[in-house]
Each structure stands twice: as C-alpha cells, then as structure tokens.
Amino acid sequence: MTHINEAGPMGFLRTILILVIAYYAIKFLVKLFAPYLLKKAVDKVQKKAEQKFNNQQQQQQQSDVEIGKTVVDKKPQNIQQSNNSVGEYVDFEEID
C-alpha cells in the first residue's frame, strides 16, 4: 500500500508558508515598482495630450478663416421621412 501524500501536516504548513512569503514578496515588489509604472503611464498620457493640443494649434494656424467668424462646412439635409410604423392619428373630443 502506497501513500499519495507522505508529508502530512508538514507539507500543508510548508505550502502555507510559501504562499505567505510569495504574498509579501509580491506586495513588496508592487510597492517598489508602482511609482515608476504610474509615472510612466502619466507621462504617456501627458505626451498624448500635448500632441493633440499641438495638432489642434497647427490646424487652427493653417486655417485661413478670421478669428470669431462662423463657418458652415456642410449644409444639413432636410429630408423628412414619414414613419408609417408609428400608427394612425385619431382626432377626438372629450365628452362630459
């Protein structure tokens, strides 16, 4: 007869100890590297915002429209379609 788990309670305690050590090691590493990763993410977002702002400024400078003037680029289409699926309108009078 062979035993599958010969370590018994010592194997369980060893597993718990490994899990606790791994938890605290990960927690330490996150505290160590989180500020660096957060700074890198903020710098990336800031660069995107600056790039968008600069593109917007360039487009505004290239535009030959006077400042404060309103320009309509496209005339909206005034095609009204009847919606027959709504139903029929019935006029009614209120009776006392």
**16 within domain boundaries:** no
Query: 56 or 30: whose pLDDT is higher?
Result: 30
Total tally of structural domains belonging to the chain: 1
**44 within domain boundaries:** yes
**17 within domain boundaries:** no
**23 within domain boundaries:** no
In whole angstroms, how far apart are CA 2 and each of 5, 14, 22? 9, 22, 32
67-84: b (≥16 Cβ within 10 Å) or e: eeeeeeeeeeeeeeeeee
Q: Residue 43: which domain range? A: 30-63
**50 within domain boundaries:** yes
Q: Is 1 helix (H, G, I), strand (E, B) or coil?
A: coil
Q: What pLDDT score does 8 carry?
A: 73
Cα-to-chain-centroid distance, residue 89: 45
Query: 44 or 55: whose pLDDT is higher?
Result: 44
Query: 55 or 92: whose pLDDT is higher?
Result: 55
**68 within domain boundaries:** no
| 1-21 residue pLDDT tens | 455 555 677 888 999 999 999
Q: What pLDDT score does 85 carry?
A: 66
| 30-46 residue pLDDT tens | 999 999 999 999 999 99
**3 within domain boundaries:** no
**84 within domain boundaries:** no
Residue 89 and residue 82 in contact, taking contact as beta carbons nearer than 8 Å? no
Give the integer Cα–Cα distance in Å for 86 and 92.
Answer: 18
